[in-house]
Structure 1
Amino acid sequence: MAGPRTALADPARSVRSLALVCLAATLFAVSGCGGDSTGPTSAGPSEAGPPAVSDPPTDGGEPAAGTPASAVPAAVDPCSLVSRQEAEQLAGTALNEPRKVKATCTYTAPPSGPTAQVEVFVGAGAKKILDVNRNLGHELRELPGVGDEAYAEDRVVYVHKGGQWVSVRLVRLNDPAENRQGLEAVARQVADRL
């Protein structure tokens, strides 16, 4: 008498089923994280961006109750802070048109080209990335004379000016020392545009 098949009788089927369940759970979780797409059309100053290499943390995008309007920086278009031409110069290769999502702007290399990406984060997410990297012991260099304060590490610069934080991250498969001058130049440009 042939009994019902168990998961142990067909390991390949069990693995496929488990993979499908994991995929469905991931898609369900991700779709629930998008928030309400019918909200306000202008991005708040403290909204963080979409996942790129890693997700910048967000504090919900709303100023704290009782915060005076003058203390909340105006919303900034992240793609206006670093142009495509400037991103290409930094990355050392041609890049696609920018992809703007909330308070982020991402330039990626075409699949046929070398690996390269330039990411611009505006708001509290940019500051949170800096804080996390400080706590992890990343080596940060101060950039004197850039904005109200600015810092750099191997592949990221952080700029603070007029209450607004911005980080620009470079993804490139090269010696980080080759990027230092370009990242510092981008930090100055960002500070001038804030």
Structure 2
Amino acid sequence: MTHLATGRRRRGQILAAAAAVLTLTAVGGCGTDDGPAAPVAGAGPSVAATGQGDPSAAASAEESPAAPAVDACALVTKTEAEKLAGTPLEDPLEKAAADRDTCTYTGPVTGPTAQVEVYVGDGAKKFLDIDRELGHKLTPISGAGDEAYAEDGTVFVSKAGVWACVRLVRSEDPATYRSALEAVARTAAGRL
């Protein structure tokens, strides 16, 4: 009788664990890409959801995510970044086509301390949202896109729903670079 009770309890534990795994997989996917992908806003119903189309085409579409519409390094060129920072900067690192939503120009190792960071898309918007939550003082910028703000060392700009952010790291007072940052925001907005 003891073996029978132990066996039932063990089987119950295994079934409970299996149910938990299935529930997690159905709800969140457990970080795998084995299940159907969540629909992308504005992309319409997926092939899996409609049961139409070529499954191999759907698989290849899921394997290669769409590249950002705007390359962050094209929003602020190296020459413009150097003018903003007031010092020579290194070329940005080469990035894969799918990772063009950030661009960083760093100062040479010999100094001075300088870095210009450019973000475009969801990352730029998240940066702004976090700064708002932290209570950073954001000042509106006129003539830059549909919406634009400046804070010490950083500008945010939006045009047609796409956000971009330019951040300058220098050891001097951020007010020194305020007008140059606002000019870069206007330039970047024109390229969005």
Change (3 A) 1:164 1:100: farther
- Runs (4+) of structure 1 exceeding 6 A deviation are none
Deviation at 1:100, TM superposition (A): 4.8
> Could you tell me which residue of structure 2 aligns to residue 121 of structure 1?
119
Whether the aligned pair in 1 keeps the contact of 2:155 and 2:165 (CA below 8 Å) is yes
Q: 1 CA distance for matches of 2:108 and 2:148?
A: 31
> Could you tell me which residue of structure 2 aligns to residue 92 of structure 1?
86
- Say which of 114, 132, 135 aligns to 2:133: 135
Deviation at 1:99, TM superposition (A): 2.2
- Say which of 160, 163, 166 aligns to 1:165: 163
Deviation at 1:64, TM superposition (A): 6.6
In our comparison, the structure showing a higher alpha carbon Rg is: 2
Task: After superposition, give the CA deviation of every residue in 1:23-68 in whole Å (9 maximum; x if it has no partner).
Answer: xxxxxxxxxxxx9xxxxxxxxxxxxxxxxxxxxxxxxxxx972622
Equivalences, count? 132
Deviation at 1:113, TM superposition (A): 1.7
Give the helix-richer structure, 1 or 2.
Answer: 2
Residue identity opposite 2:83 in structure 1:
Q
> Could you tell me which residue of structure 1 aligns to residue 177 of structure 2?
179
**What are the equivalent positions in structure 2 for 1:1-194 lying under 5 Å apart?**
65=39, 67-69=41-43, 75-101=69-95, 102=99, 103-194=101-192
Q: 2 CA distance for matches of 1:146 and 1:82?
A: 14
Q: 2 CA distance for matches of 1:179 and 1:110?
A: 19
In structure 1, runs of 5+ residues without a counterpart are 1-34, 36-62
Partner-residue secondary structure (3-state), 2:82? helix
Residue identity opposite 2:87 in structure 1:
T
TM-score (norm 2): 0.64
Change (3 A) 1:73 1:149: farther
Partner-residue secondary structure (3-state), 2:165? strand
Partner-residue secondary structure (3-state), 2:70? coil
Whether the aligned pair in 2 keeps the contact of 1:155 and 1:171 (CA below 8 Å) is yes
Identity %: 58
Partner-residue secondary structure (3-state), 1:99? coil
Whether the aligned pair in 1 keeps the contact of 2:152 and 2:178 (CA below 8 Å) is yes
Report the aligned-residue RMSD: 2.3
Whether the aligned pair in 1 keeps the contact of 2:68 and 2:121 (CA below 8 Å) is no
Residue identity opposite 1:119 in structure 2:
E
Partner-residue secondary structure (3-state), 2:110? coil
Q: 2 CA distance for matches of 1:100 and 1:153?
A: 29
Change (3 A) 1:92 1:64: farther
Higher RCO (CA 8 Å, separation ≥ 6 residues) = 1
TM-score (norm 1): 0.63
